[in-house]
Amino acid sequence: MKETLAPIHYMQHRRIKIQENLAFFLADLFMKESVLTSLYDDFGPPSKEVDLGVQIDHDHIHHWLASHVISQEKRMAHLIYAILQETTEEALHLAHKEYGEQLGNALQIEELPANGQGLYDVLQGILLDGMPCDKVNHMGDYSGHHLVFTSIQDLHGPYFHEAGLPASLAQSLRASFLEGFLKNFGLYTYQYTRKEDSILHKILW
């Protein structure tokens, strides 16, 4: 029985594409295109540059999206590992920050979020944290000048660990990405605190 595509499915695919494009960006910048291509054989290829409705399996929409999330997580972790064999972590952080800044420019958000709730909504449109049904991110406190939210699981660290990297590196690189992305909004600062089973995010402006 064919399932019906809904806006949430398009949003999830957009999050996946943002990460796939980050992989393309890193592979090009650090000359690891051949490595990334080889990872397609190991973990599956990225989604195609066509409308989601054309490429998705309409009989198994959730499975198709979930499998692409997992494939991208594995490709990214192993690509990062390959890059770090010849590149410093500092260079990798700068690359993530640059990509975040480029993404912010490309989105062309005409109005700044009015408050933390508005910023949270923007971030949930770009951050890939499993599937929507996983409900990883939870709003905490917010005002006109700050936002606090919690990720109740680190879904990325285990893939980094599996690839031979420190699990903590995943969130550290995301922080650099967010610094670049938030630069487009002005004087925003992002901080995070790792706890035993969660990650606390705080943004001030």
**7-204 CATH:** 3.90.1520
pLDDT tens digits for range 55-97: 999 999 999 999 999 999 999 999 999 999 999 999 999 999 9
Give the Å distances, CA to CA, from 198 to 15, 45, 116, 117, 137. Answer: 21, 30, 20, 20, 10
What is the structure's pLDDT at 1? 63
Q: What is the mean pLDDT of residues 162-189?
A: 95
The percent of residues in the chain predicted with pLDDT above 90, rounded, is 90
Give the Å distances, CA to CA, from 80 to 22, 24, 68, 91, 180. Answer: 11, 12, 18, 12, 19
Residue 201 predicted with pLDDT over 80:
yes
Calpha distance 156→134 (Å, rounded): 13
Residue 30 predicted with pLDDT over 90:
yes
Per domain, the residue ranges of the chain are 7-204
What is the structure's pLDDT at 173? 99
Q: What tokens appear for 189 in the block? A: 């600062």
Question: pTM score > 0.85 for this model?
Answer: yes
pLDDT tens digits for range 116-156: 999 999 999 999 999 999 999 999 999 999 999 999 999 99
Residue 110 predicted with pLDDT over 80:
no
Q: What is the mean pLDDT of residues 27-53?
A: 98
CB 45 within 8 A of CB 72: no
What is the structure's pLDDT at 197? 86
Calpha distance 131→125 (Å, rounded): 12
* 12 against 111, higher pLDDT: 12
Residue 200 predicted with pLDDT over 70:
yes
Q: What is the mean pLDDT of residues 159-175?
A: 98
